[in-house]
Amino acid sequence: MYMVESKEGAIACMVLSLCFLGTFPALLTLLERRGRLPQHTYLDYSITNFLAAVIIAFTLGEVGKSSDASPNFTQQLSQDNWPSVMFAMAGGVALSLGNLSSQYAWAFVGLSVTEVLICSIIVVIGSTLNYFLDNKINKAEILFPGVACFVIAVCLGSAVHSSNTADNKAKLNSLSANSDKELKPIDVAGFPSRVESTDPENADGSLRKAEAGTADFLVQLENRRSIKVFGKGTVIGLCLTFFAGVSLSLFSPAFNLATNDQWHTLKKGVPHLAVYTAFFYFSASCFVIAIVLNIIFLYRPLLNLPKTTFKAYLNDWNGRGWAFLAGFLCGFGNGLEFMGGQAAGYAAADSVQAFPLVSTFWGVVLFGEYRRSSRRTYVLLVSMLFMFTAAVGILMASSGHRKP
């Protein structure tokens, strides 16, 4: 069984994890903006997300010699370690619910701000819990100022969302005034009818008709995407975001308990779960919850999405390759995060929550988020990203080293 034993190796795992975890949300957002139903996308994503855990378990989890104190993956499957297995599976449930909520929040709040808000909440709650679970191996005088910076980033992120929503409403009101030749308030919920429906397969062509950030761009995007957001308040997006943040903040502490047994739930002589074994159970529960919920959502969709069927899902190959890739990126990203956390402490491993910086890059470059926004929105956005970056740097500086 391969183990990361150095601080440098742990940081390398975190950096690679950061890149993977920052890219998969952009792929899922891309598919939603092209009109693919989120239930279809998430079912595909869940399959490869679990497959990544299986690959890691049967490769890194089986490398090298095993011993009674450090058994390989397949040996642990038959051991009496169910208390730790339950912690790992509880973490998987939290991850599944959090990622599922995030998929809908991206449509309402935007990829950049959603990820910063969620990850800041994860660090504020999750890193604090991990600090005490890890027997305080991280430097508290560095860790908690970093946590405070994340709290500020959450507040700034909420302000960015409110400001950007006001900007978009102003753009849409201006479009209505120009087209009707009179200035009067409008209901943005009526805008989709102004643009003819487009085929999701040819969705890119629709966007080229309008410059990113303009009112026409917003109307065309709304008409094409699968999750309709016009006419819905900012509260819905923020509620989804905060629920996702709280759910995702619990998966890392649960995984920490699964691998280190701080509460001494295992019988005497039973070795702790290896990272790879815990990750397998973690991903298995995540997979089951995702499959069950999304099959239900096919027939009872959320947020007024159209109903679909399992047969329609099986026949929907539009963007399936991107959804599979997103699942692999998330699966390998989470696995690398846990490998780094086992070596350097899970509180410090939460520094991979810097992945919104990668997501922001994709959001601005690929999706044109915050183009033609007000100066106030830009100032808030830059302030949020600056505070978030500083917080991540401080969190990395708090890294300790777990004693064998």
Structure tokens at 246: 């709280």
| Whether the predicted pLDDT of 259 surpasses 60 | yes
In this predicted structure, what is the pLDDT of residue 201? 38
Residues in the chain: 404
In this predicted structure, what is the pLDDT of residue 1? 66
Task: Give the best-scoring range by mean pLDDT among 97-106, 254-263, 353-362.
Answer: 97-106
Q: What is the pLDDT of residues 188-218, one digit of tens each?
A: 444 443 344 434 334 444 445 677 778 888 8
Q: Read off the pLDDT band of 343 (50, 70, 90).
A: low
- pLDDT averaged over the chain? 81
Largest CA distance in the chain: 80
In this predicted structure, what is the pLDDT of residue 135? 64
In this predicted structure, what is the pLDDT of residue 202? 43
Where is pLDDT greater, at 310 or 111?
310
Where is pLDDT greater, at 341 or 263?
263
Task: Give the best-scoring range by mean pLDDT among 66-75, 226-235, 251-260.
Answer: 251-260
**Cβ proximity of 115 and 150 under 8 Å:** no
**Backbone phi, then psi, for 354, in 5-degree steps?**
-70, -5
In this predicted structure, what is the pLDDT of residue 188? 43
Q: What is the pLDDT of residues 312-326, one digit of tens each?
A: 999 999 999 999 999
| Whether the predicted pLDDT of 24 surpasses 70 | yes
Q: What is the pLDDT of residues 345-356, one digit of tens each?
A: 555 555 666 777
In this predicted structure, what is the pLDDT of residue 370? 79
In this predicted structure, what is the pLDDT of residue 352? 66
Q: How far apart are CA 100 and CA 42, in angstroms?
A: 8
- % of the chain residues with pLDDT over 70: 81
In this predicted structure, what is the pLDDT of residue 184? 44
End-to-end CA distance of the chain: 15
Q: What is the mean pLDDT of residues 55-66?
A: 85
| Whether the predicted pLDDT of 258 surpasses 50 | yes
Q: What is the mean pLDDT of residues 293-319?
A: 95
In this predicted structure, what is the pLDDT of residue 349? 58
Q: Read off the pLDDT band of 181 (50, 70, 90).
A: very low
Whole-prediction pTM:
0.80
**Is the Cα torsion angle 387, 388, 391, 397 positive or negative in sign?**
negative
| Whether the predicted pLDDT of 69 surpasses 80 | no
Q: Read off the pLDDT band of 48 (50, 70, 90).
A: very high
Where is pLDDT greater, at 49 or 113?
49
In this predicted structure, what is the pLDDT of residue 320? 96
SS3 state at 331: helix
Q: What is the mean pLDDT of residues 277-285?
A: 95
User: Which H or E run contains 326?
Assistant: helix 320-344
**Backbone phi, then psi, for 268, in 5-degree steps?**
-60, 130
Q: At what angle do helices 251-260 and 234-249 cross, to 10 degrees?
A: 10
Nearest to 61 by CA among 253, 285, 281: 281
| Whether the predicted pLDDT of 85 surpasses 90 | yes
- % of the chain residues with pLDDT over 90: 33
